[in-house]
Amino acid sequence: MDLYIIVFFLISIILWPSVTSEILTPVDPPTDLQIIDLGHLGPLHIRWKAPLSLTNKKLCVVRYQLIYCNVDSTNCKRVITRQLQHTDGFNLNKGVNVTIQTRVKEHCKRGSERHSDWIDMVYWPSLEGHVDSKVKNLQCIVYNLKYMDCLWQKGANAPPDVNYRLYYWHEEMERVMECNKYLKNQGDKVGCHFHSEELIEFSDFNICINGTSGLGPVRPVYYVLQLQNLVKPAAPHKINMTASKNGIIYLQWEPPAGEVKPHCLEYEVNFSGKDSDWESKIVLEETTITLLNMTAKSKFCVRLRATVNMFCADDAFWSDWSSTHCLTDYSDEEGNAVVKSNLLGELILLTALASITLVLLVAILGCWISWKQSFAKRKLNMLLTEQTRSIKKRKCLSYGNIGQMF
């Protein structure tokens, strides 16, 4: 037993130098680190070469670890790759810091991984011009996935004759393009209009706005947008509202017309009774809702708006409000007003009928009086005629008596 222990001890002593030298063998870092601007307004290409000390060695695994971010940023990305290059998007308004090391695993089984020292490099984009000469407050809105408008404000220290230009690029484009339709205010460029075929979702949409001036350089500014987070849908339409006798409101509508998928929408229902403030309720995907009219026998109004839900975007804009729709039960004050209105109408109708009746009665009375006067006149004439005949007859009798006397 002791002999085996002695043999093992002697073999360990013989092999120890080679084992320790293998463990302590240093690994060289990559060489010829480069950061290349591809001219795509954000993406940078990082490439390097393998250490010369590893060129002729047959190793199980050689990998490279990258750590990169903007200068002064703590939000760095970490990538481990076997490739000798890597491309990613960056904020070119600041410098970019890239750090890299070599990681080697010599034995495929039970082998420990060794790594080199870090090497780093800083890339500085060209940022000429006063910092306040660049545009500010850029806001882009994708209207119902049909078009996008981007508006900006002139820099606080921009030259009076500044001429801004917008350039954009995304992964489906072969080259950077300039805005095809600028939006202007009093001759100055204040925005850009994009057609639907120029847009792309779920991919970086890179924008650079620079400018020229006869008074000096203008500072460029870079933006990286995700257009699915900038969508503003149209307002819901074809709103139908009915009420049951027990005061329950049934509301139904149709999704906004446009390119936004119905399953990507959520709605805010804004409703109010006669004596209450506006209340809100969020509805996911559905286009129907049942509401309890807490203020019974009163005016009940509702309006809706839509937005893209969290399942289709990280953020979005609310649409404009739809037109307001109201249901009214006229049993209280409003009902009295209607009753009064009906009574007034009936009164006017009765007055008109009474006036017509009175005119007819006056006309009939006039005709009756005229007939009576005519009848009386004819009767008087008949009496006068009879009296005249009687007088003549008496005269004739008198003349006869006189003749007999002679």
User: Residue 402 is encoded by which pair of tokens?
Assistant: 């006189």
Q: What pLDDT does 393 receive?
A: 53
Kindly report, residue by residue over 69-96, the tens digit of the pLDDT.
Answer: 999 888 899 999 999 999 999 999 999 9
Query: In this structure, are 109 and 144 located in the same domain?
Result: no
Query: In this structure, are 226 and 281 located in the same domain?
Result: no
Task: Judge whether 385 lies within some domain.
Answer: no
In sign, the C-alpha dihedral spanning 147, 39, 315, 261 is positive
User: Residue 357 is encoded by which pair of tokens?
Assistant: 């009746």
Walk across the sheet containing 221-225 and list its strands: 177-178, 163-169, 205-212, 221-225
Name the residue among 186, 169, 178 with its Cα closest to residue 211: 178
Q: How many domains are there within the chain?
A: 3
Task: Judge whether 290 lies within some domain.
Answer: yes
Which DSSP string corresponds to 43-80?
A: EEEEEEE--GGGTT---SEEEEEEEEEETT-S--EEEE
- State how far the Cα of 263 lies from the Cα of 309, in Å rounded to an integer: 9
Domain final residue, candidates 92, 123, 154: 123
Domain final residue, candidates 67, 100, 123: 123
Query: In this structure, are 227 and 239 located in the same domain?
Result: no
In sign, the C-alpha dihedral spanning 278, 282, 287, 293 is negative
Which amino acid makes up residue 90?
F
> Domain containing 297: what range?
235-334
Query: In this structure, are 192 and 261 located in the same domain?
Result: no
Average pLDDT over residues 108-130: 85
Query: In this structure, are 40 and 97 located in the same domain?
Result: yes
Which DSSP string corresponds to 304-320?
A: EEEEE-TTT-S--PPPP
SS3 336: helix
- Domain CATH number, residue 302: 2.60.40.10
Task: Judge whether 350 lies within some domain.
Answer: no
Task: Judge whether 96 lies within some domain.
Answer: yes
Query: In this structure, are 249 and 303 located in the same domain?
Result: yes
Tokens 């339709």 found at: 181
Domain final residue, candidates 319, 334, 349: 334
Q: What pLDDT does 399 receive?
A: 44
Kindly report, residue by residue over 285-342, the tens digit of the pLDDT.
Answer: 788 888 765 555 567 888 999 999 999 999 999 999 999 888 775 444 433 433 343 4
Task: Judge whether 84 lies within some domain.
Answer: yes
